[in-house]
Structures are given as C-alpha cells and as structure tokens.
Structure 1
Amino acid sequence: MEFSVKSGSPEKQRTACVVVGVYEPRRLTPSAQRIDDLTDGYISSLIRRGDLEGKVGQTLLLHNIDNTLCDRILLVGCGRERDLSFTQYRKIISQSVSTLNDTGSMEAVFYLTELPVKGCNSSQRIRHAIEAAQDSLYRFDQLKSKKDTTRRPLRKIVLTVPNRRDLTDGEQAVREGMAITQGIQLAKDLGNMPGNICTPGYLADRAVTLSKVYSNLSTEILEEAELEKMGMNAFLSVSKGSRQPAKMIVMNFLNGDPADAPICLVGKGVTFDSGGISLKPGAAMDEMKYDMCGAASVLGTINAIAELQLEINVMAVIPTTENMPDGMATKPGDIVTSLSGTTIEILNTDAEGRLILCDALSYCERFNPSVVIDVATLTGACVVALGKHAAGLFSNHSPLCHELINAGKSTGDRVWEMPLWDEYQEQLKSNFADLANIGGKEAGSVTAATFLSAFCKKYHWAHLDIAGVAWKSGNHKGATGRPVSLLTQYVIDQAGDS
C-alpha cells in the first residue's frame, strides 16, 4: 500500500474516491459539509431520508456526484463527535479501507484525518490511520495453496492535512507509520508461521537476512556449544528436550554516538511451548506457536527503527528455543546454575520463559546498556489480570516506567503498571537452591517478574508481559504485532531527547 499526504478541498480531488465522515445523529463533518454545500444539499438530503445515521462503521458509497471531480464519495459513520476515541477512529479507518478494497476503488483521498480524536494531534491521526489501514488489509496466506485475490484492490491512500504548512509534519508521520507497520507485519508473519517452519534456526536466519538490508545493523548468532561454555545453563535447560538447537540472536543497530550506551531489547523466542515435562492441556495448544511473539516484536521493532534510521544505538538479544518433552528434557525438581551464578530449582518446566530470559538479561550486562526492556508472552496470570487490552508492565526504574506508559498512550498500544514489591520474593524461596522458578498460584505474573528482577540489579529494567495482547483467538485468530508500535515510539522519543 502506498501512502502520502496533501492539503486541499475535497471537491477538487481527481481520484477514484473521496472519503468523508458523518457524525451521529446525521451531522456532517466539515469536509462532508463542504461537498454538501457545493452539491445543493445532496448529501444532507440522503441523510435526512435515513440512508445513513452516522453510527461508527456505517458506510454509504455514492457515484458521479455533481460539482465534484472524483468518481465516488464514501460516507463513513463516525459516531458522536464528543465520544470519538482512538479505538473508534481505528474502527472507522478499518471499515473505510475494507469497503474501498471490496468495491474497486484503487485509490482514495481520506478526509477522516480531520476528526477530533481524543488525545491525538494531526500527525498521530495520520500514523494511526496507516496502522489501521494496513491491519485491515493484512492476510497471512503464504501457506495456502489457493489464495483469495481482490480483482481491483486498494493500492493508494492520500491522507489530508489542514494546510500546506502541515505537510512536513504529515510526511514525517507517514514515514513513521510506514516503518512501524513494516515492523508490525514482520512480527505478525513470524508469529503466525507454524512451529514446524518457524524454528529457532528460522528466526536466526530472518535476523541475519534483516541485517543485510541495513549497513549499520549487524547480527551474531550464538550456538549451543558457545552458550554452554558461557554458562547459560538456565537457557539450555529448556532446549534439552528439543531436537532443534537453541540459538541466541544478538543484533546491533549503531546509528548514534559511539560513546552512547545502547537501549537493549530482549525478546522471548520459544517457537513452540508444549510445557515440557509439565505438559500443557491439549486444548488450544496450537496457539503455543505464539510463544515467540516477544522475539517477533523485538525483530519488528529493530526493523522499524532501522528503516527510520533513528540516530540512536539499540541492541536486540533474543534467546530462542523450543520447549518439548523428551527423555533428555529437564524434570521438575532439577536444579541449574544460571549465567549469573544464581542456582534455580525448576519446579515447573512450563515456566520456561523466565529461564531463557534470565540468562539473556545477565548477558546484557556486558553492553553497559542505558536501559533493558524485555518482552515476553510470559504468564497466563497476566491475561487473567488485564485481559486482552493492555500488556503488564513491571520496572525497577520509575522514569523508564513512565516513558513506556506515555509511549503506550501515544500509540494506543497500552500497558498497565503492576507491582514489583519485595514481599513477593518470599514466594520464590527454595529449600535447595537460590530461587524457585515459580511462586505458587497467587500473583503469577508478579512472581514471574520478581524472578526476572533478580537478574537485573545492575541496570534500569522493564518487563512487558504481552501474553494477553500478542495474539487473538477464535475466528480472528492471529498475531497482533504488539508491542512493536509502543517500543518503536519509545525509541523515537529517546532518539529525540538525545
């Protein structure tokens, strides 16, 4: 899809379609009103007749309207103006794009960016429009023998700004939106790929391929022999039951001052999680291919910031493995020594994400990072706590926590701060090792984060538990690409402050 920005009146647009909004109840947006005035009240007469109420997502496609230069006009319901939220705005854009894609309009000029969305400026509305449009058109059909094709698909969207002086900011918003959606699509594709294809080796290959696109992005792959020599026994305890060798992917994007400490992003990359010896129930186990969505989102974020060529240094550390049952697999009660020297009693092999992450987090110390942010589909408990709307956020540094919250508000990719108090450490005590890898039934997402915090004492750290937001189930099953938008915005903000 091609996106661009321009200013100008709707009636002067020579295009396949002009898209304008109608508020509920039956009230025209400024651009719709302008067309109505020039067509002697044609649109308002249709609305008075009851053809469109203005409810969110309603559409009405008009053809060959007098005194206009476009082939079609699409009226889109926008709900009540005072209630127009980010979520509603995304629905409005998505419905508009789907309608245009199904009706043969290969290009369109959108005046929906004039809508007064709560908390969004013009640039943010442009970015959100691009993300919503790309999301509505996304399909994962690489593995289908017969693909559904649209005969005349929508190929070009022009997003409008109020004045010519707004074009520069609008063009930057398009660049950011395109880069972020490119990263989101990569994360979705990786997440949706089945576990028999998306193995640790596959993720490593994709990282190497990505680094070949950008001259200031490099990738190193650490193999099991090297990981064992380094002492990453917690990480390797998870891979023991798999015939797919574990990998540690280390990516280095250097585009800032060489003296500046890097931001380090860590992504959990369990390409299939059976639970190991602590085997999961069979129902919906196919969705455990999504247990590498943390890794996918980190790769997507690296893609986005490399595409934008942000003037900043960012590292990505991705431990990736399968978690499978086998005669060699780790058993409940086994004790391993992590890279940090901390001994861990593995009481449940299905609490494996924290085992691979703890060694990756210790590994990050060698880079002297400014901050470390890990991203993981870590606990079902976080889904119980927050549902599918917000990721859980844990941090040992209040400024970092606030910056991530603000980035989430800006992008709509929201997070919610969870407690990380000393009292929770009691639940992780072991009679036989320094730590247990689970803390019982209570506060499962908190004790998981508390476990990770034991390995992050030498730097500022945040943990995003994305188990509830990384994918959707049911009829719309598929990876969401979250939190690529949040992470990229955070890096954009840091690059702007440096």
Structure 2
Amino acid sequence: MFLLRRAAVLPVLRSNCCRTFCSSPSLQMERKGLVLGVFEKKGEESSQRFTKAAEVFDHKVSGKLSELLKISGPSLKKGKSRVFYGVHKDFPCVAVVGLDDPAAGVCGAENWDLVKENIREAVSAGCQVLRDLELTHVEVDGCGDPQAAAEGALLGLFYYDCLKSKKKAKVTVLPHDSVEAAAWEKGVQYAEGQNLARLLMEAPANHITPSAFAKTIEERLTQYGDRVLVQKRSQAWIEEQGMGAFLSVSKGSEEPPVFLELHYKGSPDSADAPLLLVGKGITFDSGGISLKPSASMDMMRADMGGAATVCAAVVTAAALNLPLNIIGLAPLCENMPSGKATKPGDVVTAKNGKTIQVDNTDAEGRLILADALCYAHTFKPRAVVNVATLTGAMDVALGSAATGVFTNSDWLWEQLHKASVVTGDRVWRMPLFQHYTRQVTDCQLADLNNIGKYSRSGGACTAAAFLREFVTAPHWAHLDIAGVMSNKDEIPYLKKGMSGRPTRTLVEFAAALAYNK
C-alpha cells in the first residue's frame, strides 16, 4: 500500500508480469499459453516458415499447427499475431506471431537491428493477446534471439495498476523449449530495469517524493550487499557542498531535497575509474514562479525520468554483475511556487563558483544538474553521462523517435550509438556549437543565464551549452530524453504510458565498456 503522508515510503515496487522459473504441480494445472514465431518468406508461394521451436511443436501435434495457419487466412505479417485453440493438451491457446526476414540485420536508415526489434514487437503482441484471454502462464519461443524475445515479453506485459483496488492478474513468463538460458535471463534483466524506471515515472508525485524515490532505489539495491553503497545526502550536506543552484530549485517546496549517490563496485580492481551517470530528479515540476500551463501538468510527475533511468541502470548493472565500477548521482527535489521560491531574475551560485541569472524558473533541470556535474568530477570518472527530461524543444526536434545526445567526445558518441542500435532505443547526435554557448554566457547580471538569449530558438542546444559550462571531463554526454519520456503507440511493445527510455541503452553501453576495455 502506498502511504499519503509527507514522508511516504514506497514498498518495493513490483512489475505485474512475474518471471518465476518453476514447475510446481499447481502451475502445471493452470491453463497455459504459448507464443511461437513464423518467418515471412517474401516472393514464395509457400510464404511462411516456422522457427525451430515452432517446427518442433508442429511435429509434436502432427502438423496441426501448420494446417491451421494455412487455412486461417493470408500469410502472417510481421508484428501481427493469430491465436489457435485446442492444438495441444498442455497449451489450450497458442499465439503464432509474424517475424520478418531473419537475415535482415542492422538497417542503416533506421539505426537499429531490424531482426531484434521485430522479435520484441512480435513477441509482445503474442503475450498481450494471451493475457487478454486471461491466461496467467505464458511460454515464449526465443525466435532465434532469446534476449530480444524476453525483452519484448516483459516490456509488453507491463502496466501500472499499483493504486487500483482491482488489479489484473500477474502473468508468469517462461522460455519455451531449449531457449538459451543466459541470453533469456539477460533480456529479463534489461526489461525489468526499464520497467523499474517506468514504475517510478508513472507513480503520482505525492507517492514518489524525493525521499520515497531514494528509499525505493535503496530497497532494490539491498540484495547486492557490499557491492553497492547507497548514500542519501541531506539538505545540510547539499548546503555544505555549496550547491546553490540545486538549492535554488528546491526552495519553493515543503519536501526537502535529497542528493542520492549510488556506488556499484563491480570491477575486480577497485582503483578502476568509474562510469559516472547523472540523472535529473525533479519529482514534480510545476515550473515554479514561471508556472506551467495546467493542461498536461500531471505528466510532470515523470520529470525525474533521468534519475529513474540512471538509477534503474545501476540496479540492472548490479543484477547482471557487470565487471565495472559505476557511480550514479540523482539530485532529487520538487520545483514548486511559494513565498520562498526562487524568483525570475534572481542570481544564484553553483558549486564551482559560477553565478547564474535565473530568468525562467521552469528551466530548473539544468540548475540541479550543474551542481551534480561539478560533484561528479571529484571522482575522476572514465566518462560522464547525464540524462534529463530537459527541454520541450527536444520533443519538437526529434519527437519520440530518438534521444538527443550532445557530447564533446566522438568516442563516447560511438559507444552510445552502438548500444542504441542493439537495444532499438535510438540516439541521435545534436550540435554543441559555440554559437549556443554565446547565448547563455551573454548575461546582464551573472556569469550565465539559465535560458538562451533567444529563448525560442535552439532551446535544447542552449540548454546543453549551459551544462557544458560545468564540465571539464574529456568524455561527457548529455542525453535529453524529453521527447521519449512517454509512449502513445510509437513503440508497440511499450504501449501507452511512461516509457522508461533509454534504460536499456544505458545498460548496454555500460556492458560494452565492462567487457571491451
């Protein structure tokens, strides 16, 4: 149960799709569903070919499945599904899902692996249709890529009903037949990481306060013992650090700020330079004195999406036991209007001594990140990646197709891009020209202005230029995730709601650093 009082602490949030690997007698008595894949073979009269697992299953039922597929209509298109009943005594419902050419590979125009992305979409469709039939136990064909299949299944079955009195039944998802266990488990961990970020982002702001957010992450990391250190820094500590930019944002709220610091010690050499991940953690953004319009303001409960994805990535790295040191930083607070709130035109001082003229209190994310980035450099990191739902301008520029990446490092861009091709959660490089820097450094009262000189022009770029003023590391990237914060129907396996993007890309990036030093 979620508590409503000010210092509310969430219980460990749980996804509605269970992945328990068991074969108890009670489970065997349940009505079970099965998802199997079929490849479309373009230009051939016999237009479809089963996956290996589907072929074995069809042999067990004496060709009944292939016969039903033939008489059920035109060939099954990719991403679509068809359900057959009474094919096998153990599986009263079998969903056959359409897969594309298994040799398609990476598409340069789309910047993702077509095979992996199609498997996620198809398996998700099959699992969802079986859940709608009220089956609670589903086995899934690996479709040639067990990791992608597991991701599609668990991401597709996620929904948020934590606060509803009537909840949907959980769905137990298992690999079917001789699926490679390690690849399947990796996909499960990737999907559960993203689902954790979705749970945090979807929860109402009166339930995910800064302290509740920190407590939830702490509970998720407890099981990893000495490998993980969680430090929940108080307002007094923030003041001692001279984080005046961060404190200026939190001033208007009754909720005290929290600076969440996570240390994952995965490298066998404790002296290895860490990967530094920093996430914007505004648990509710009203805009402050520069108040936002009321329409869709409820969506600003997810303005901590950067912190959610960063913390979820650290949790996933620990679950995967990656041989890499990672530090996650999340400045957490609310941005609210009150008599104590920062006023437009006020000047504040960041941790590195730079003064900032705050002309728009709704450009608050860059203020809290400025201090967090200054602090990040004290760890002498291998690379710094910050993630934030920073600007509406990024949504205008790229929409939900990709995360915008601003970076001072070609090497870091290449690593992030490679990771995104694998996960299908794409990134796109944006400019960091001095043209934008001049717009934030040309300031009447202070060293910097928190909005660009031409506020409606290049807003995502001037925000990135502002952050760059607090970076000295040679490998730094800023990921603006405002456009990918939520999903309508763009990504079929995510459905409507908060997306948790780009958690899997962050994890894949970290894994590549860990294993390809």
Structures share fold, TM-score greater than 0.5: yes
Could you say what secondary structure the match of 2:304 adopts? helix
Contact (CA 8 Å) 2:39, 2:102: kept in 1 or not? no
Corresponding residue to 1:145 among 165, 185, 207: 165
Corresponding residue to 1:217 among 219, 225, 228: 228
Contact (CA 8 Å) 1:241, 1:323: kept in 2 or not? yes
Corresponding residue to 1:453 among 461, 468, 471: 468
CA deviations 1:419-445 (Å, max 9, x no partner) are 111221111110221111111211111
Distance 1:160 1:483, change over 3 A: farther
Distance 1:100 1:454, change over 3 A: same
The alignment status of 1:346 with 2:362, answered yes or no, reads no
The alignment status of 1:92 with 2:122, answered yes or no, reads yes
Contact (CA 8 Å) 2:35, 2:123: kept in 1 or not? no
The alignment status of 1:130 with 2:150, answered yes or no, reads yes
Contact (CA 8 Å) 2:383, 2:473: kept in 1 or not? no
Contact (CA 8 Å) 2:154, 2:188: kept in 1 or not? no
Corresponding residue to 1:260 among 257, 265, 272: 272
Could you say what secondary structure the match of 2:384 adopts? strand
Letter in 2 for 1:433: A
CA deviations 1:206-231 (Å, max 9, x no partner) are 23323422111111122122212221
2:214 corresponding residue in structure 1: 204
- With 236-245 and 98-107 compared, the bigger mean Cα shift is at 98-107
Distance in 1 between the 2:39 and 2:323 partners? 42
TM-score under structure 2 length normalisation = 0.84
Contact (CA 8 Å) 2:141, 2:149: kept in 1 or not? no
1:272 corresponding residue in structure 2: 284
1:444 corresponding residue in structure 2: 459
Contact (CA 8 Å) 1:263, 1:371: kept in 2 or not? yes
Contact (CA 8 Å) 1:250, 1:317: kept in 2 or not? yes
Distance in 2 between the 1:459 and 1:208 partners? 31
Distance 1:225 1:111, change over 3 A: closer
Where structure 1 has 5 or more consecutive residues not aligned to the other structure, the ranges are 5-14, 115-124, 162-166
Corresponding residue to 2:258 among 223, 247, 252: 247
Please state how far the C-alpha of 1:172 moved relative to its aligned partner.
Answer: 2.4
Distance 1:55 1:195, change over 3 A: same
Contact (CA 8 Å) 1:24, 1:77: kept in 2 or not? no
2:77 corresponding residue in structure 1: 55
Distance 1:400 1:3, change over 3 A: farther
Please state how far the C-alpha of 1:452 moved relative to its aligned partner.
Answer: 0.4
CA deviations 1:43-75 (Å, max 9, x no partner) are 554444453531234433334448x98655432
Distance 1:154 1:246, change over 3 A: closer
Corresponding residue to 1:76 among 82, 97, 112: 97
TM-score under structure 1 length normalisation = 0.87
The alignment status of 1:176 with 2:186, answered yes or no, reads yes
User: Which has the larger share of helix?
Assistant: 1
Taking every aligned residue pair, what percent have the same amino acid on both sides? Answer: 38
Distance in 2 between the 1:147 and 1:207 partners? 24
Distance 1:497 1:34, change over 3 A: closer
Corresponding residue to 1:2 among 13, 16, 19: 19
The alignment status of 1:287 with 2:309, answered yes or no, reads no
2:500 corresponding residue in structure 1: 481
Distance 1:492 1:40, change over 3 A: closer
Where structure 2 has 5 or more consecutive residues not aligned to the other structure, the ranges are 1-17, 22-31, 105-113
- With 56-65 and 459-468 compared, the bigger mean Cα shift is at 56-65
Distance in 1 between the 2:314 and 2:376 partners? 17
C-alpha root-mean-square deviation of aligned residues, in Å? 2.7
Distance 1:147 1:358, change over 3 A: same
Distance in 2 between the 1:450 and 1:412 partners? 27
CA deviations 1:145-201 (Å, max 9, x no partner) are 22233xxx642422566xxxxx7xx33222322222222222111111111111111
1:332 corresponding residue in structure 2: 344
Could you say what secondary structure the match of 1:258 adopts? coil
Contact (CA 8 Å) 2:33, 2:92: kept in 1 or not? yes
- With 377-386 and 465-474 compared, the bigger mean Cα shift is at 465-474
2:484 corresponding residue in structure 1: 469
Q: How does 1:412-431 map to 2 (within 5 A)?
A: 412-428=424-440, 429-431=442-444
Corresponding residue to 1:21 among 21, 26, 38: 38
Letter in 2 for 1:171: A
Please state how far the C-alpha of 1:251 moved relative to its aligned partner.
Answer: 1.0
Letter in 2 for 1:88: N
- With 306-315 and 33-42 compared, the bigger mean Cα shift is at 33-42
Distance in 1 between the 2:149 and 2:265 partners? 30
Contact (CA 8 Å) 1:393, 1:465: kept in 2 or not? yes
The alignment status of 1:375 with 2:390, answered yes or no, reads no
Contact (CA 8 Å) 1:62, 1:74: kept in 2 or not? yes
Distance in 1 between the 2:128 and 2:450 partners? 46
Contact (CA 8 Å) 2:65, 2:87: kept in 1 or not? no
